Chain A
Amino acid sequence: MLLQASQITKRFGHRMVLNALDLSLQPGEVVTIFGPNGAGKTTLIQILSTLLKPTSGTLQIGGINALEEALRVRPSLGLIVHEPLAYLELSPYENLKLFGRLYGLNGLEQRIADLLDEVQLTPYAHEPVRIFSRGMIQRFMIAKALIHDPALLLFDEPFSGLDLAAKQLVLKRIDHERARGKGIILTTHNTELGYHVGSRFHFLLNGQIETVAEKEDIGLETLSREYEERLKG
């Protein structure tokens, strides 16, 4: 088991954001979590990435207690959230070099060149990230999340603000990483794209997670209809 979250609860003051949530992930699996704004998707991703501590519950990543030994498990995580998690005054090359060095990577120059080429940012490798468009920043974030070839990828709304080409790049990359045996947890409210890449589906509504189905057991139309019904009701 790559990830095992049990009874994860998160409260902010009196407000319950996540309520006794269970989630698991196997290598080579893509778990898609659908939820509307405010459902707790970002909080869940922050907890799974060990950046935020849950109020209660346990979290095992790669067999390690991630809440007790966060520093040990973090290098095995790749995270894409709403923020770049990087320095916008630095260039993509400088950012990737800094983070690659901190991860202790060998062959870093080649790795950076390959990743920048893949996300089509080679011509902008030495420009500050702050001048980039939203789509370019998202592509840079993909490169940054993958620089250390993590075993577990956590994507929070990875398709938001992307043009068609960038969306296809993300989809292709998710397929590629899944084929390499990486585990991926993805949150989105876009049922079509979430269905396309996912192998197992969940709804996150009012802080509670519901397992919907494996991909082979449900079609896009049924999934979309069920999601809309659950949102209405």
Chain B
Amino acid sequence: MEAFRQIGWLIHKDLALQFRTKDMLALIIVFSVLVVLIFCFAFGPIFPEQLEERGKLAASVLWGTFLFAGIIALNRSFDIERMNGALHGLRLTGVDASYLYLSKVVSIFLFLMLLEVVVTPITLQFLDVLTVLPVALQAQLPWLLLKLIGVIAIGTLGFCAVGVVVSGISTNTPGKESLLSVILLPLTFPVVMAGAKCTVSLLTTGGLGGNFWISVLVVYSLVFLASSYLLFEFVVEG
């Protein structure tokens, strides 16, 4: 019980810090909407007629945006811990490193999900995806969007699972932003690939097109969550 309480307080602290200044929230939402708009202007105003092509475009825009917004969120989140020795302050309380890891994963996950819930409808609307959906799919639109959010949530969890560890490693090194990107992008490639494949399938057929890509997404997220949970002590303690 004490473990859950400690994780809860750490999550509360992370979210309070993220929403206290709102600069991070504003930065990341403006950045994401700008990326979506750039793609819209580049590919529009007349988008591909075929639903599958339009679905592929939407999936690329969504996952590309989430990936780069996620890197910004990770950087910012660990900057807060590094500045003024706050992480050392936490370590001195004797709190388990794995609790720090889980709290960071949950708080960044919640933060990114908030962003994704805002950006996903904007992207689908601007790329005019919803209007070309078959009538059968349009009738199930809320259910389709729910499934899409589910896929995005699993992908975001996998991204956070890896990202928190890599941010923890890179935060005390010179050139941490570039190091984070260089290590993180290859590691999260399976998440982005599987997430994008599932998204295309959902937007074109309403289903996941078999179990393969969703399995990749789930297994990757769980494996990295478990292994990073065990490894994080070495990241924090050195």
In chain A, residues 68-111, which have Cβ atoms closer than 8 Å to a Cβ of chain B? 70-72, 74-75, 77, 79, 81, 83-90, 94, 98-99, 101-104
Nearest residue (CB) in A for B12 is: A98
The count of A-to-B residue pairs whose CB atoms sit within 8 angstroms is: 72
Given A89-B20, A98-B9, A98-B13: A77 touches B84 (CB 8 Å cut-off): no
The 0/1 profile, CB within 8 Å of A marked 1, for residues 1-29 of chain B is 01001100110010011001100000000
In the assembled complex, how far is the CB of residue A130 from the closest CB belonging to chain B, in whole angstroms? 9
Task: Report the count of interface residues on B (CB-CB < 8 A).
Answer: 26
Interface of B is mostly: helix
Q: Does A41 sit at the interface, judged by CB under 8 A? A: no
- Which residues on the B side are within 8 Å of A104 (C-beta)? 2
Q: Does A173 sit at the interface, judged by CB under 8 A? A: no
Q: Does B237 sit at the interface, judged by CB under 8 A? A: yes
Q: Do A101 and B92 touch (CB < 8 A)?
A: no
Q: Does A220 sit at the interface, judged by CB under 8 A? A: no
The 0/1 profile, CB within 8 Å of A marked 1, for residues 78-109 of chain B is 00100111101111111110000000000000
In the assembled complex, how far is the CB of residue A167 from the closest CB belonging to chain B, in whole angstroms? 22
- Which residues on the A side are within 8 Å of B92 (C-beta)? 49, 51, 74-75, 77, 79, 85
Q: Does B238 sit at the interface, judged by CB under 8 A? A: yes
The 0/1 profile, CB within 8 Å of A marked 1, for residues 49-84 of chain B is 000000000000000000000000000000010011
Q: Do B94 and A144 touch (CB < 8 A)?
A: no
Q: How many angstroms between the C-alpha atoms of A225 and B91 in the bound complex?
A: 40
Q: Do B238 and A53 touch (CB < 8 A)?
A: yes
Of B16, B80, B84, B96, which is in contact with the most chain A CB atoms at under 10 Å from its CB?
B84
Q: Do B86 and A85 touch (CB < 8 A)?
A: yes
Q: Do B85 and A71 touch (CB < 8 A)?
A: no
- Which residues on the B side are within 8 Å of A49 (C-beta)? 92
Given A70-B237, A94-B16, A99-B89: A88 touches B83 (CB 8 Å cut-off): yes
Of A51, A87, A128, which is in contact with the most chain B CB atoms at under 10 Å from its CB?
A87
- Which residues on the A side are within 8 Å of B9 (C-beta)? 98, 101-102
In the assembled complex, how far is the CB of residue B84 from the closest CB belonging to chain A, in whole angstroms? 5
In the assembled complex, how far is the CB of residue A212 from the closest CB belonging to chain B, in whole angstroms? 29
Q: Do A144 and B89 touch (CB < 8 A)?
A: yes
Given A81-B85, A101-B9: A89 touches B21 (CB 8 Å cut-off): yes
Which of A53, A86, A89, A128 interacts with B89 by CB under 8 Å? A86
Which residues in B have some Cβ–Cβ distance to A below 8 Å? 2, 5-6, 9-10, 13, 16-17, 20-21, 80, 83-86, 88-96, 237-238
